[in-house]
């Protein structure tokens, strides 16, 4: 019999109406009590870790979830984490680095409607997640709307629809149909997971808009160890306004600059246009390529907790983890 640990963190799936809007008030054990039709041969135990709207989830909570998995790892065959959908992709990416190469399934799920609502997607998502946690699909994944999505490739692309998540620049790992897991791709894993217990939260994100001023970038660099710049199209920075000089000055002071794109699919390529080529050629800024912004942020926090040395940061950043990027 497979033994699964259900870790509750809150979210819509566990929410009830309070009069001031939905708030997560149902513990993980309460979710189980409202679930029918769990497959035979599955023994589920619950851990009440958090009760938060996912808007309130922070890197400190990622470490708590990873710590809970580490503490209980030997005693279970798989793990299911119920979580709010709004920051679910960030948590899935973070756990992919904090519990690197897990041979056991670590499955995150949630819902767009609370479990107590008749038209909810909660019960199907939770049932599917538990089923996936008993399968031979290692590593971190998100199970949602019958899809199994790699933890480092997920993004929430719809705010209300049941089909809330998509896999970016990578196929789905599989699907769940008629109570069966149909795998397409199996993640690589080790004999044992590599746990990490630290993150550097001094990572900032700047989303470029037309007319943005250099002082915004300087402000972020001054207060952080790394700044991720979400640029336009395949990537670049405005050639006026001192942006190139800003990046150069802060890199000389040991800051890490990463260029990515606001476009969800197909990734960046700084070599295409003059506005990006010079950044790559002269400054050697890091480039996210096909990674999601969620994975870039989580990976930088994980790396910078290990080292601040720019050459080592670059090496680790370009080393694929959990299939977060195609090898370069």
- Tell me, yes or no, if 157 is annotated catalytic: no
Q: What is the DSSP string of 107-125?
A: EEE--SS-TTSTT-SHHHH
Question: What is residue 97's three-state secondary structure?
Answer: helix
Candidate list 12, 87, 120, 261, residue with the active-site label:
12
Of 135, 99, 149, nearest in space to 4 by CA: 135
Please tell me the distance from the alpha carbon of residue 308 to that of residue 168, in angstroms, as a whole number: 29
| Cα–Cα distance list, 63 to 109, 172, 199, 226, 287 (Å) | 18, 26, 8, 20, 26
Q: Is 149 exposed, middle or buried (0-12, 13-18, 19+ CB in 10 A)?
A: buried
293-304 vs 88-98: helix crossing angle, rounded to 10: 40
Please tell me the distance from the alpha carbon of residue 63 to that of residue 140, in angstroms, as a whole number: 15
| Extended strands (E) in 170-292 | 174-177, 180-183, 194-195, 203-207, 226-231, 256-261, 286-287
The catalytic site residues sit at 12
């Amino acid at each position: 019999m497979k033994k699964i640990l259900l870790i509750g963190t809150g979210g819509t799936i566990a929410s009830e109406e309070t009069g001031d809007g939905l708030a997560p008030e149902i513990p993980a054990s309460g979710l189980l009590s409202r679930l029918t039709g769990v497959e035979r041969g599955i023994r589920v135990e619950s851990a009440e870790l958090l009760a938060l709207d996912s808007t309130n989830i922070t890197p400190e909570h990622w470490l708590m979830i990873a710590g809970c998995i580490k503490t209980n790892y030997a005693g279970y065959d798989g793990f299911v984490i119920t979580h709010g959908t709004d920051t679910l992709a960030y948590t899935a990416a973070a756990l992919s680095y904090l519990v690197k190469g897990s041979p056991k399934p670590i499955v995150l799920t949630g819902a767009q409607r609370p479990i107590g609502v008749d038209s909810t997607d909660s019960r199907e998502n939770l049932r599917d997640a538990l089923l996936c946690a008993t399968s031979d699909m290692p590593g971190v994944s998100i199970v949602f709307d019958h899809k199994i999505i790699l933890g480092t490739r997920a993004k929430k692309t719809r705010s209300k629809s049941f089909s809330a998540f998509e896999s970016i620049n990578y196929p789905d790992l599989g699907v769940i149909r008629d109570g069966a897991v149909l795998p397409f791709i199996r993640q690589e894993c080790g004999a044992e997971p590599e746990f990490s217990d630290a993150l550097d939260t001094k990572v900032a994100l700047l989303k470029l808009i037309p007319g943005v001023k250099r002082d915004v970038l300087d402000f972020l660099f001054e207060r952080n160890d790394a700044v991720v710049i979400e640029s336009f199209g395949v990537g670049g920075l405005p050639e006026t306004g001192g942006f190139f000089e800003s990046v150069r000055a802060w890199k000389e002071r040991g800051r890490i600059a990463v260029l990515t794109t606001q476009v969800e699919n197909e990734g960046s390529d700084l070599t295409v246009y003059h506005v990006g080529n010079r950044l790559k050629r002269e400054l050697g800024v890091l480039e996210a390529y096909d990674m999601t912004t969620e994975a870039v942020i989580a990976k930088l926090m994980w790396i910078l907790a290990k080292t601040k040395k720019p050459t080592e940061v670059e090496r680790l950043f370009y080393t694929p983890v959990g299939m977060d990027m195609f090898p370069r």
